[in-house]
Amino acid sequence: MNSGLIDNLTTAEAVLLALKEQLADQMEPGRRFDDEERMSTLVRGLDVMTLLVRDAGRRMQGCPPAQLDDAVQSLLEQIGRVSNVALHQH
């Protein structure tokens, strides 16, 4: 496995962990998952995860890496904003 593919899978894992934390926060008793931005963030995160996994498969076949850095960075920033809002609501 080349280092680019390992980096891509590591990034996918980091995004997945951030999304799992968001979902776990929503599963706390007494909290509802009705915030549109949080739902949008989760859906977007799943889309980015799908792109990262597809890219990993294509890279294993010898294709060049997709340019996903901006999408991942933007998603992580969005997760951070949603997390900060959630913290201030408690």
CB under 8 A, 24+ apart: contacts of 31-40? 37/82, 37/85, 38/82, 38/86
Q: Which tens digit of pLDDT belongs to each residue from 16-68?
A: 777 777 666 665 555 554 577 777 888 888 888 888 888 888 888 899 999 99
Digit-coded pLDDT (tens) for 63-87: 999 999 999 999 989 888 887 765 5
Q: Which residues have a Cβ under 8 Å from the Cβ of 1 and sit 6 or more positions away?
A: 60
Tokens coding 52: 């990262």
